[in-house]
Amino acid sequence: MDNELALLGLYIEEEEPTPISLENSMNLLLDGIDRQLATAASIRSDWTRMKGDIVLNCDRPQEQVIVLNKILRAAEMSKEKIVQLSYKYFLTRKWYESLSDPIRCNSWIELQRRVTDISAILSTNNGELKRLGPVIREVETELIKAEQQQQIHDSKLYDQAETHKKMAFTLQRTIQRQHDEIVALKQKIDELEAMRLQKEEQQRQLQQVLEQAKGREVEEEISDKAYLERMIEEVEDDRMEDLPNVEDTSSGDEDGCMEEIPTLEQISSDEEDNRVDDHTSLNRLQEDLWKIKKVLKKFPYRMIGDTKGVASDKPCAFCGKTKRHFSDSCPKVTNGNERYHIVSTGKLCVHCLDNCPKHKCKFKPRSCWYCDRVRGTIAEDMIPEDNGHHKALCSVADSRSLLVNRIASLKKEIEERRARSRGRECRRIDP
């Protein structure tokens, strides 16, 4: 039907087309009418089958709307094309009969071997349109129902979405509340742990006091023995005074030798003083050991490594990376003395690790956190004497091994003193 517009143009310009061109146009129009009639019949048959289809009725509303729209569009398009082709065939046939002689017309009709009569074609097309009309109305009705169901379904989905949002919000609040409870429980656990440590410390102090009291009892017992020995010596001296005087029969050299020999009382007194000094020194060493262990248990240490959520744009003073970690947690340079050397070489401020004017740093009055943890303890001598520094430069956090060495040295000295004390006691008791 490519020449339909061409024929219309000839009609408008009042030019006569050739009979053969009109015959070709009619042939094409009849072919088109046959195809559309077959399409309309197929649509009616498909719809009749689909009306009772359980799958269509059970499909979701969105899918039903898509299928029904497709059927409705095909049915309406087929109806429109049947009407258009009927009009075109009627006009072309009338024009052909007016331009051709009856013999040519009859010859063309005989060659077609199909219905070419205008009345018969219009009757057939009209019958198909009447059968197609109810199908279109039924599809439209079903489409309206499907669209309503889709609206209801969409409304339910919206309600479900809102419900899920509320549930998510409630769950989030529950999680936050549980997080707060966990934080509170952690704080409570930390408090209980601190109380436990304090109680253990008190028990250790009590044990130390008991040990000291036991040591004093031993010392008093030893003093009682020495006093008894002195009493025996005094009784022996009294007996010697009652015996005949034999000093005249001894030589002057022997008298001088007897005067130089120390008495038992003098020897016991010296040994007693040594035992008292050793006991006092041993208690002092044990007290120092307990204090160092106490400091070591709470000794500060650095958290080395990258940290999430570092919002500061200030680069690390030692490796130069930003938003990876704070300077105190730098994993590249961990030793405080080495860090201090880097800052001094780079002419940075030791209080804020920045290029602030000399002696005008606003952070200078701040004290170091690591130094504050050991200040006032037996490990206070580890604090560097440098007029203050940033905690990232502190060497206290690197001195844990020094405390461990001190503990080992104290334990060794305590054992040595105990061994000497036991040896002295054995020599005193043995005849």
Span 356-401, pLDDT tens digits? 876 778 776 678 889 998 888 988 888 888 888 888 889 888 888 8
Task: Kindly report which listed range (52-61, 207-216, 336-345) carries the lowest average pLDDT score.
Answer: 52-61
Percent of the chain with pLDDT over 70: 76
Cα–Cα distance measured from residue 399 to residue 296, given in angstroms and rounded to the nearest whole number: 10
pLDDT, position 167: 86
* 295 contacts 377 by C-beta, under 8 angstroms: yes
**Which tens digits make up the pLDDT trace of 257-268?**
334 444 444 445
- What Rg, from alpha-carbon coordinates, does the chain have? 58
Residue 209: its pLDDT value, please?
67
The reported pLDDT for the residue numbered 270 is: 52
Q: What is the largest CA-CA distance in the chain?
A: 197
How is the chain split into domains, by residue range? Answer: 14-170, 299-427
Both tokens assigned to 83: 């009407």
pLDDT in tens, 330-358: 888 888 888 888 888 888 888 888 888 76
- pLDDT surpassing 60 at residue 4: no
13-23 mean pLDDT? 76
SS3 annotation, the chain: CCCHHHHHHHHHCCCCCCHHHHHHHHHHHHHHHHHHHHHHHHHHHHHHHHHCCHHHHHCCHHHHHHHHHHHHHHHHHHHHHHHHHHHHHHHHHHHHHHHCCHHHHHHHHHHHCCCCCHHHHHHHHHHHHHHHHHHHHHHHHHHHHHHHHHHHHHHHHHHHHHHHHHHHHHHHHHHHHHHHHHHHHHHHHHHHHHHHHHHHHHHHHHHHHHHHHHHHHHHHHHHHHHHHHHHHHHHHHHHHHHCCCCCCCCCHHHHHHHHHCCCHHHHHHHHHHHHHHHHHHHHHHHHHHHHHHHHHHCCCCCCCCCCCCCCCCCCCCCCCCCCCCCHHHCCCCCCHHHHHHHHHHCCCCCCCCCCCCCCCCCCCCCCCHHHHHHCCCCCHHHCCCCCCCCHHHCCHHHCHHHHHHHHHHHHHHHHHHHHHHHHHHHHHHCC
Band of pLDDT at residue 81, cut at 50, 70 and 90? very high
| Residue 20: pLDDT over 60 | yes
Cα dihedral 380→385→388→391 (10° resolution): -60
Prediction pTM value: 0.36
Say yes or no to pLDDT of 175 above 70: yes
Is pLDDT at 242 greater than 80 in this prediction? no
What confidence category does residue 418 fall into, taking pLDDT thresholds of 50, 70 and 90? confident
Q: Which residues contact 279 (CB under 8 A, 6 or more apart)?
A: 215, 219, 421
The model's pLDDT over 267-314, given as tens digits with 9 standing for 90+, comes to: 454 555 556 567 788 888 888 889 888 888 888 878 888 777 676 778
CA distances from 30 to 23, 113, 125, 299 (A): 11, 12, 11, 103
Look up residue 234 and give its two tokens: 């005094």
Burial (CB < 10 A; 0-12, 13-18, 19+), residue 117, is exposed
Instruction: Give the end-to-end CA distance of the chain in Å, rounded to a whole number.
Output: 144
Q: Whole-angstrom Cα distance, residue 354 to residue 316?
A: 10
Q: Note the residue count of the chain.
A: 431
Which residue's entry shows tokens 């719809």?
47
Model pLDDT, residue 252: 43
Q: What is the pLDDT of residue 131?
A: 92
| Distance of alpha carbon 408 from alpha carbon 178, whole angstroms | 46
Mean pLDDT, the chain, whole residue set: 77
Q: CA–CA separation, 40 vs 34, rounded Å?
A: 10
Vertex 91: Cα angle to 87 and 95 (nearest 5): 170
Tell me, what's the pLDDT at 267? 43
Token match 């009291």: residue? 213
